[in-house]
């Protein structure tokens, strides 16, 4: 299928440039450092990866847009978008292919955090089911941010603009359910407070890290990604030649 061929090329593209190595090294260093220092991994005296999962969405907030910023902006700048979109390939497959490549890359980065799982299993007897659910949550958050970032990248030929837009929009969805936002809104616009809670990524992620795999949360993440991929396809279709 065309989408997989595009995905394979994009994934190889990450490793052909320093992007992949910088991303993985920074992600692993920061995830490790935050888990053991701010997260108090040892001091808590609990055999789980709670501290790690707390920080992953916030790391992704800055790192995922760095992965997606080049997806379309670079194609526009180089003019290769004209090449890609005049090959016999439905446009949606190009959109999905790029998204899958970035997602596969995030899976690789997450798999490389395996020493944490080994450590916690060596030190105690954690509930590995909860840990698996937490990783599923990380994957969902990564996918959601990637879909946003790819759509933002489609709007511009400037990678920095794509990065800043993606961080801003991801941040909105990350904090939408936080008490500060919902309390502020519920005093003034109660309707919006409900909506903010409903679209919050962090709330749903937190319930996954507690080991609760609810179908409606998975449906939420799937439709969130689907929506932004659709936006991505529409933007590309309307503005590809600009």
Partner 1 sequence: MTALIEIERFTKRFGAFTAVDDVSFSVDRGEVVGFLGPNGAGKSTTMKMLAGFVTPTAGTARICGKDVVDDPVAAKRSLGYLPEGAPTYPEMTVTGFLHFVARIRGYRGIEAGERVEDAMELTQLESVQLQPIETLSKGFKRRVGLAQSLLHDPPVLVLDEPTDGLDPNQKHEVRELIRRMAPQKAILISTHILEEVEAVCSRAIIIAGGRVLADGTPASLTAPGESLEQVFRTMTMPKAAA
Residues contributing to the site for partner 1 (CB under 8 A): 2, 5-6, 9, 12-13, 16-17, 78-80, 82-83, 85-90, 240-241
Show the tokens assigned to 2. Answer: 């065309």
Of 80 and 128, the one with the shorter C-beta distance to partner 1 is 80
Show the tokens assigned to 94. Answer: 């190009």
Show the tokens assigned to 151. Answer: 């759509």
227 CB-side CA count, 13 A: 10
In angstroms, the CA 7 to CA 240 distance is: 19
In angstroms, the CA 81 to CA 236 distance is: 10
Q: Closest approach of Cβ 240 to partner 1, in Å?
A: 7
Of 85 and 139, the one with the shorter C-beta distance to partner 1 is 85
Of 1 and 198, the one with the shorter C-beta distance to partner 1 is 1
Provide CB contacts within 8 A for 212, sequence distance 6+.
133
Q: Closest approach of Cβ 13 to partner 1, in Å?
A: 6
Of 49 and 150, the one with the shorter C-beta distance to partner 1 is 150
Nearest to 202 by CA among 228, 230, 224, 229: 224
Of 39 and 97, the one with the shorter C-beta distance to partner 1 is 97
Q: What are phi and psi of 46, to 5 degrees?
A: -120, 140
SS3 call for 18? coil
Of 191 and 241, the one with the shorter C-beta distance to partner 1 is 241
Of 59 and 89, the one with the shorter C-beta distance to partner 1 is 89
Residue with tokens 């707390």: 54
Q: Closest approach of Cβ 66 to partner 1, in Å?
A: 17
- Helices marked H in 48-88 — which ranges? 50-78, 80-84
Q: Closest approach of Cβ 83 to partner 1, in Å?
A: 5
Angle at which helices 19-36 and 114-123 cross, to 10°:
20
Q: What are phi and psi of 47, to 5 degrees?
A: -85, 80
Q: Closest approach of Cβ 58 to partner 1, in Å?
A: 30
Q: Closest approach of Cβ 10 to partner 1, in Å?
A: 10
For residue 12, what are the CA distances in angstroms to 69, 73, 102, 194, 228? Answer: 16, 18, 11, 42, 24
Q: Closest approach of Cβ 237 to partner 1, in Å?
A: 8
């Amino acid at each position: 299928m065309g989408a997989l061929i595009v995905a394979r090329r994009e994934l190889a593209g990450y490793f052909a440039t320093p992007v992949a190595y910088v991303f993985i090294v920074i992600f692993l260093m920061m995830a490790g450092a935050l888990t053991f220092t701010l997260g108090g991994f040892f001091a808590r005296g609990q055999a789980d990866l709670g501290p790690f999962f707390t920080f992953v969405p916030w790391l992704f907030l800055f790192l995922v847009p760095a992965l997606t910023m080049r997806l379309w902006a670079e194609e526009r700048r180089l003019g290769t978008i004209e090449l890609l979109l005049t090959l016999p390939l439905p446009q949606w497959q190009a959109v999905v292919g790029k998204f899958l490549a970035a997602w596969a890359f995030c899976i690789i980065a997450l798999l490389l955090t395996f020493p944490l799982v080994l450590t916690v299993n060596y030190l105690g007897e954690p509930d590995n089911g909860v840990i698996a659910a937490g990783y599923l949550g990380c994957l969902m958050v990564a996918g959601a941010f990637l879909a946003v970032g790819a759509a933002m990248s489609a709007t511009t030929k400037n990678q920095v603009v794509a990065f800043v837009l993606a961080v801003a929009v991801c941040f909105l969805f990350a904090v939408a359910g936080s008490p500060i936002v919902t309390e502020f809104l519920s005093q003034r616009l109660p309707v919006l407070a409900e909506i903010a809670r409903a679209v919050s990524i962090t709330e749903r992620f937190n319930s996954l890290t507690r080991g609760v795999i609810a179908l409606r949360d998975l449906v939420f993440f799937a439709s969130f990604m689907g929506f932004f991929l659709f936006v991505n396809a529409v933007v590309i279709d309307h503005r590809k030649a600009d």
